[in-house]
Amino acid sequence: MFHGVTFLDPISPAGNKFAALAAAGYFAAMSLPFLKMHGAGNDFVVLDGRATPVHLPSATIRHIADRRRGVGCDQLVIIEPDEGGADAFMRILNADGSESGACGNATRCVAALLAEESGARVVTIRTISGLLRAEILGPGLVEVDMGTPQLEWGDIPLAGPADTLHLSLALGPVSDPAACSMGNPHATFFIDDFTHLPIELIGPKLETHRLFPERANIGFAKIESPSRIRLRVWERGAGLTLACGSGACAALVNAHRRGLTGRQAHVVMDGGELLISWTADGRVLMRGPAETAFAGALPELV
């Protein structure tokens, strides 16, 4: 277990940030450099495992993610080499140590890093759920092709055959969600008001409901107009986060399937706003910010 964190000033946007920091002598020989990044407030500890593999036990991941005893993050992300032709493989580990199949906000952050290193405008990133294409639109602005949503119950997956547009699921003030997979399972409840919605109480119970054999991300969406959705998401393995990129994609997909929105909408979350588009050919595009907050070192991990 590590005993402290070294925090550094924000670093320049050019080149390989990890290599530049190590070359500058910021880190002790037995320390592991990291970048703290976020997309609309959904925050990550990003590690570079391309030159030297990074393997962390679940207990260490939980310690790093702890906001009082560690660095603090929703997910820990490890950039790894990819043998299939992508620019990199991205491993996503939730704050509880479990592995996630997709994270749209983390994808934008890693895409921004890879593009800075190579000078490319378009990069491809592989996850355990598939290949993602990302395009740099401007400083700190990235669009990711999140792929095609999976709408069949077995692909999400659910525990058994069900109408994914209207699940027979209710708890407290919420009921009748729609479900899909955006590389990980999502259920979206449509609500009228957040004022008295006890997300911290019902979120964990819905995440682990027997209907979801792999647990699920639980979204609570208020449709403000056909082109604007207010969203909060209880993420499996991370809890209530300031933003959830795949959850925003799922909310737009499920809202459009219900006839509540068009195929494009601004999805407003506690930490910021994303523009989600479900194209005519079935792809879901997510556009939003990617920012580096600071850099540091985790001592005694390697």
Measured CA to CA, the distance from residue 265 to residue 256 in angstroms comes to 10
DSSP structural state of residue 238: T
CA distance linking residue 43 with residue 65, whole number of Å: 10
Segment holding 28, helix H or strand E: none
Catalytic annotation on 180? no
DSSP string, 87-146: SEEEEEEETTS-EES--HHHHHHHHHHHHHHH--SEEEEEETTEEEEEEEEETTEEEEE-
Question: Going along the chain, which residue ranges are E strands?
Answer: 6-8, 31-39, 42-48, 75-80, 88-94, 99-100, 122-127, 130-138, 141-145, 170-171, 174-175, 178-181, 185-190, 217-225, 228-235, 239-241, 264-269, 272-278, 284-289, 291-299
Q: Which of 267, 180, 263 lies closest to 222 in space, CA to CA?
A: 267
| List 73, 103, 109, 180, catalytic entry | 103
Q: DSSP character for 73?
A: -
The two tokens of residue 271 are 């930490």
Q: Residues 73, 109, 180, 244: which is the catalytic one?
A: 244
The Cα 118–Cα 121 span in angstroms is 9
Active site residue 249: no
Contact 274, 17 (CB under 8 A): no
d(CA 5, CA 300): 10
Positive or negative torsion for Cα 252, 145, 241, 213: positive
CB 266 within 8 A of CB 258: no
Q: Write out the catalytic residue numbers.
A: 103, 244
